[in-house]
Structure 1
Amino acid sequence: MDYKDKAYWQALASELTLETRLFIAGKYQKAQAGECFGCINPATDHPLAEVSRAQEADVNKAVMAARSSFESGVWSEASPAERKSVLLRLAALIEKHQQELALLETLNTGKPIRHSLRDDIPGAVRAIRWYAESIDKIYGEIAPTANNALALISREPVGVVAAIVPWNFPLLLACWKLGPALAAGNSVVLKPSEKAPLSAIRLGALAKKAGLPDGVLNILPGLGLETGKALGLHHDVDCLTFTGSTGVGRRLLEYAGSSNMKRVWIEAGGKSANIVFADCPDLGKAAKACAAAIFYNQGEVCVAGTRLLVEASIKDTFMAEFKQAAAAFKPMNPLDPDTIMGTLIDKNHHASVCRYISLGLEEGAQLTLDGRDQAGNFMGPTVLEQVTPHMRIANEEIFGPVLAVTTFSSEAEALHLANSSKYGLGAGVWTSNLQRAHRLARKLRVGSVFINNYNDGDMTVPFGGVKKSGNGRDKSLHAFDKFTELKTTWLALD
């Protein structure tokens, strides 16, 4: 892929016209109260735009538009072939505008342009396209009843879906939700993070151009405690799907319980372990993968391999390889196509990550790689060794490029350490022992186990967690379970 050069992206950025309004019932419009919130470029701390701030009145308007479109049947009752055609056009339009959308992601989040262009936007295209292609390949069932009855089991769209997505992969994670929700025939109200709403807002015009009927997709940039809370409490929202922190996920469950008991699907925090055994088939490959697992996207990844559990007998050898691999992650200008590590999302988050590093030192960890010597919101690879299970840095999600290293002496100890987390999103196992790989894969309490790789996968496999990492699954055909209701139709034949 041609990433061009820094001057190209800077010139393109200077020519951008940013859409900052809400998208409701097929039209861009200002918030009813006329209020806005600021959106910054974390690489420069300079303002990008003033974005319309959706509040309860706007949520009511958007949900009403979604309900009206759903009940009209214009989308919910459209044939699978019709829905497929529209979503394929939407995927093609996202692909056509990939440079613009990638630039919006980089300006809004500080992630490297090469990653936005290589990973985020193509991933969003794949999600929409994959679910579009799946629409006419899902069949109902006939239950094995007695001969005097016929029982049909069918799937129906759940209704109005609220999708709340985070700032680390704004468009990609939005499309993980939108793909199956729209494919199933639902109408959606999408709330992007207030820290990175620009690509989601732009998506509204592309959906309109693709032929998605008005009201089927509504986009509400706004604050979590205003827009998100209003969606969580709304009695006419049938389903809420969320990716973000465990704390916010808990509040959304409470909102659902105190309103209409809407279904709430949560992909929340993580504190995933990469377990490296002495019989690892390739220490160099493992070191590079473990470095990417924690430093890719500046560590702002829910399934990041934030805990490194390494067998004591190879600890020194492996850590030497690891630090050599970590050296490639040098924070630089996100608009430079050579950059593979950008900036943290904002100064408040930067301060939070720094506090965790200081806390680790106070609790007795050893800082062997310090990435704090950077300007602004940039932070380089950071490694804390001699981390014990009771330390907060071993238990709490930092969401930054900070690795906690712990040694173990046996398979049983490694398993215990890995499973001691309150989270259960992912885990990596590095071993040449096939029996050990399968034993651990069965016993690790996580949603995904990666054997001799980390965070590999595609749209065909489900993604999600257990314990405080959430419930339900994104990606794969299993995502339809979140956005459809099963209906039994029983016919007596006698």
Structure 2
Amino acid sequence: MQNKYSLFIGGRWIESSQQERFPAINPYTQEEWASIPQASEEQVADAIVAARKAFGTWRKTSGLERGRLLNKLADLLADDAERMGNLESTDNGKIIRETRHQMTFCARQYRFHAGFADKLWGKSIPLDQRDVLDYTVREPLGVVVLVTAWNSPMVLLSNKLAPALAAGNCVVIKPSEHASASTLEFARMVEMAGFPAGVVNVVTGDARVGKALLNSGRINRVSFTGSPGVGAEIAANAGRNLVPVTLELGGKSPNIIFDDADLPKAVNGALAGIFAATGQTCIAGSRLLVQRPVYAEVVDKLVERAKKIKLGNPVDKATEMGTVANEPQFRRILQMIDKAKGEGASLAAGGGRAGGAELAKGLFVEPTIFVDVQNDMSIAQEEVFGPVLSIIPFDTEEEAIEISNTTRFGLAAGVWTTNISRALRVSREIDTGVVWINTYRVSAAQAPFGGVKDSGFGRERGDVALDEFTSVKNIMVDFSNADRDPFAV
């Protein structure tokens, strides 16, 4: 039976017989499994109005109450993690082994920020003037637009929604048109948790919805996760309207293996960095830098392991790598592979569409490895967002740093070495927002996340995420009995 979803605006599920709709396609079976509404400009406007109206009350709701509702939301999500994981795997092809745990991680994020809801403290500031009391308060911004991508809809949403609600903002959520179902299902949990009508709204659809939100003139912040190209457009539009933005964009992350590394652990980390989530993650360690004394050994081990990765049905717990999430991305990955071959990159594994009876209908790409890659090749500079690894040899620590930083991106990096001094030196010199040492692709609700350069700006997760969704107001109180000169500051 096909799921037919509705928009969630002002605490109501909006349905219309005239509503334009689009299909949700299962990337494993290539069958339509759900119907998603395309929000009109009028409905987008209604969502903003609903959020604006709710903000008047929500901003005055105690932090204790906001925290209670966020904890309730976390409980509902954690209790339904299996079903929600299956739903997301059906929608975007990510394996259930990951999506199931992602739901638990999302619940952790809501609980983490629930604890901050009643702790948004300001400061008492000592001034030169001893008879003036100066203090700050942190206030919510108002109506915030949250735009998420298709690769991990629920995790990306929790990065934004948890701190936004904890701080007292109201939100309008716009998920990717390629993966909207889990966000709409989650809106039911928002309703069940008891959030006031209009605090959380969900409008689905293509780029027309995003443009309508950004051009409304009635929003106070945009938090976007997606491609650098779209992020640049959003930033430019927001700048014209003086709306602040948080951008979590792409990456071309270096994963560096030095010759003194624990090689079995490093190879496992390199494998996780690029083939987990079918490489469809902004933090993918898609550039593997390997020091020459261990280069051949690392390449051999990775090629051997890559050829054994089990591809299959994303909802089968034995599957290690699922499908590409959608047809446009599938075509782009194959084009990037062909382009790399044309530029002279040496193919060591994979390199095309994965075959086999079980895989015939699905959007499967073979785990692909290019070796002896030059850092100026497109495969080493452009984000593929798929299971494609470029392995680059290097000789010295300085060369590894130079190669790592010679890219327009700056999201994440990995460093594999048993030399703690080297690890600290290299992690300090790499231009990224996140560095992992002797591990890769590890997330925590407490740990700030975000990039530099074309990977965006602003931070999600951790207590610093609250800074993205609050403004600081300074208040001065003169308690002296003196008359001040009105013509001098």
The bucket for the TM-score relative to the shorter chain is over 0.9
Number of the residue aligned with 2:485: none
- The whole-number CA distance in structure 1 between the counterparts of 2:289 and 2:430 is 14
Number of the residue aligned with 2:467: 481
Instruction: Report if the CA contact (8 A) 2:63-2:119 is conserved.
Output: no
Number of the residue aligned with 1:294: 274
- The whole-number CA distance in structure 2 between the counterparts of 1:350 and 1:436 is 39
Per the alignment, in what secondary structure is the counterpart of residue 153 of structure 1?
Answer: strand
Number of the residue aligned with 1:314: 294
Number of the residue aligned with 1:337: 317
Q: Which deviates further from its counterpart, 386-395 or 300-309? A: 386-395
Are residues 1:257 and 2:242 paired?
no
Per the alignment, in what secondary structure is the counterpart of residue 455 of structure 2?
Answer: coil
Are residues 1:178 and 2:161 paired?
yes
Instruction: Report if the CA contact (8 A) 2:307-2:349 is conserved.
Output: no
One of 67, 77, 102 as aligned partner of 2:85: 102
- The whole-number CA distance in structure 1 between the counterparts of 2:459 and 2:253 is 17
Are residues 1:70 and 2:51 paired?
no
- The whole-number CA distance in structure 1 between the counterparts of 2:131 and 2:308 is 69
1:329 is displaced (CA, Å) by 2.4
Are residues 1:451 and 2:441 paired?
no
Number of the residue aligned with 1:120: 102
Number of the residue aligned with 1:461: 447
Number of the residue aligned with 2:28: 43
Q: Which runs of 5+ in 2 are unaligned?
A: 481-489
Structure 2 counterparts to residues 13-92 of structure 1, below 5 A? 18-30=3-15, 34-71=19-56, 73=57, 75-92=58-75
One of 253, 271, 278 as aligned partner of 2:252: 271
One of 213, 218, 233 as aligned partner of 2:215: 233
- The whole-number CA distance in structure 2 between the counterparts of 1:328 and 1:231 is 45
Q: Do the aligned partners of residues 474 and 31 (structure 1) sit closer, same or farther apart at CA in structure 2, a change above 3 Å counting?
A: farther
Instruction: Report if the CA contact (8 A) 1:31-1:58 is conserved.
Output: no
- The whole-number CA distance in structure 2 between the counterparts of 1:253 and 1:215 is 26
- The whole-number CA distance in structure 1 between the counterparts of 2:181 and 2:125 is 47
Per the alignment, in what secondary structure is the counterpart of residue 384 of structure 1?
Answer: strand
- The whole-number CA distance in structure 1 between the counterparts of 2:412 and 2:12 is 40
Q: Do the aligned partners of residues 38 and 19 (structure 1) sit closer, same or farther apart at CA in structure 2, a change above 3 Å counting?
A: closer
- The whole-number CA distance in structure 1 between the counterparts of 2:416 and 2:5 is 46
Identity of counterpart residues, as a percentage? 38
Instruction: Report if the CA contact (8 A) 2:144-2:170 is conserved.
Output: yes
Per the alignment, in what secondary structure is the counterpart of residue 414 of structure 2?
Answer: strand
Per the alignment, in what secondary structure is the counterpart of residue 424 of structure 1?
Answer: coil
One of 134, 137, 146 as aligned partner of 1:163: 146
1:176 is displaced (CA, Å) by 1.2
User: What one-letter code is carried by the residue in structure 1 that aligns with 2:249?
Assistant: A
- The whole-number CA distance in structure 2 between the counterparts of 1:31 and 1:201 is 16
Instruction: Report if the CA contact (8 A) 2:255-2:289 is conserved.
Output: yes
- The whole-number CA distance in structure 2 between the counterparts of 1:243 and 1:348 is 18
Q: Do the aligned partners of residues 230 and 323 (structure 1) sit closer, same or farther apart at CA in structure 2, a change above 3 Å counting?
A: same
One of 403, 417, 432 as aligned partner of 2:389: 403
Number of the residue aligned with 1:6: none
1:56 is displaced (CA, Å) by 1.5
Q: Do the aligned partners of residues 124 and 328 (structure 1) sit closer, same or farther apart at CA in structure 2, a change above 3 Å counting?
A: farther
Superposed CA deviations along residues 106-128 of structure 1, whole A, max 9, x for unmatched, are 110111112111x2211111111
Instruction: Report if the CA contact (8 A) 1:229-1:255 is conserved.
Output: no
Structure 2 counterparts to residues 115-154 of structure 1, below 5 A? 115-117=98-100, 119-146=101-128, 147-154=130-137
Instruction: Report if the CA contact (8 A) 1:287-1:325 is conserved.
Output: no
Per the alignment, in what secondary structure is the counterpart of residue 308 of structure 1?
Answer: strand
- The whole-number CA distance in structure 2 between the counterparts of 1:177 and 1:352 is 28
| Count of aligned pairs | 473
Number of the residue aligned with 1:9: none
- The whole-number CA distance in structure 2 between the counterparts of 1:196 and 1:296 is 19
Q: Do the aligned partners of residues 31 and 267 (structure 1) sit closer, same or farther apart at CA in structure 2, a change above 3 Å counting?
A: farther
- The whole-number CA distance in structure 2 between the counterparts of 1:363 and 1:388 is 10
Are residues 1:244 and 2:226 paired?
yes
- The whole-number CA distance in structure 2 between the counterparts of 1:200 and 1:343 is 20
Structure 2 counterparts to residues 330-369 of structure 1, below 5 A? 330-369=310-349
Are residues 1:192 and 2:172 paired?
no
- The whole-number CA distance in structure 1 between the counterparts of 2:147 and 2:107 is 19
What's the TM-score once normalised by structure 2's chain length? 0.94
User: What one-letter code is carried by the residue in structure 1 that aligns with 2:375?
Assistant: P
Instruction: Report if the CA contact (8 A) 1:26-1:204 is conserved.
Output: no
Are residues 1:419 and 2:405 paired?
yes
User: What one-letter code is carried by the residue in structure 2 that aligns with 1:59?
Assistant: V
- The whole-number CA distance in structure 2 between the counterparts of 1:391 and 1:328 is 27
- The whole-number CA distance in structure 2 between the counterparts of 1:324 and 1:145 is 66
Number of the residue aligned with 1:111: 94
- The whole-number CA distance in structure 2 between the counterparts of 1:270 and 1:134 is 30
Instruction: Report if the CA contact (8 A) 1:462-1:476 is conserved.
Output: yes
Superposed CA deviations along residues 102-154 of structure 1, whole A, max 9, x for unmatched, are 1110110111112111x221111111111112212332111121321111111
Instruction: Report if the CA contact (8 A) 1:331-1:379 is conserved.
Output: no
User: What one-letter code is carried by the residue in structure 1 that aligns with 2:365?
Assistant: M
Superposed CA deviations along residues 146-185 of structure 1, whole A, max 9, x for unmatched, are 3211111110000000000001001111111110000100
Per the alignment, in what secondary structure is the counterpart of residue 49 of structure 1?
Answer: strand
Per the alignment, in what secondary structure is the counterpart of residue 137 of structure 1?
Answer: coil
- The whole-number CA distance in structure 1 between the counterparts of 2:438 and 2:303 is 19
What's the TM-score once normalised by structure 1's chain length? 0.93
1:19 is displaced (CA, Å) by 4.9
- The whole-number CA distance in structure 2 between the counterparts of 1:335 and 1:61 is 37
- The whole-number CA distance in structure 2 between the counterparts of 1:462 and 1:397 is 23
Q: Do the aligned partners of residues 179 and 328 (structure 1) sit closer, same or farther apart at CA in structure 2, a change above 3 Å counting?
A: farther
Per the alignment, in what secondary structure is the counterpart of residue 423 of structure 1?
Answer: coil
Instruction: Report if the CA contact (8 A) 1:32-1:58 is conserved.
Output: no
Per the alignment, in what secondary structure is the counterpart of residue 115 of structure 2?
Answer: helix
- The whole-number CA distance in structure 2 between the counterparts of 1:438 and 1:55 is 51
Instruction: Report if the CA contact (8 A) 1:84-1:135 is conserved.
Output: yes
- The whole-number CA distance in structure 2 between the counterparts of 1:42 and 1:310 is 34
Per the alignment, in what secondary structure is the counterpart of residue 150 of structure 1?
Answer: strand
Number of the residue aligned with 1:5: none
- The whole-number CA distance in structure 2 between the counterparts of 1:457 and 1:335 is 23
Per the alignment, in what secondary structure is the counterpart of residue 429 of structure 1?
Answer: strand
Number of the residue aligned with 1:491: 477
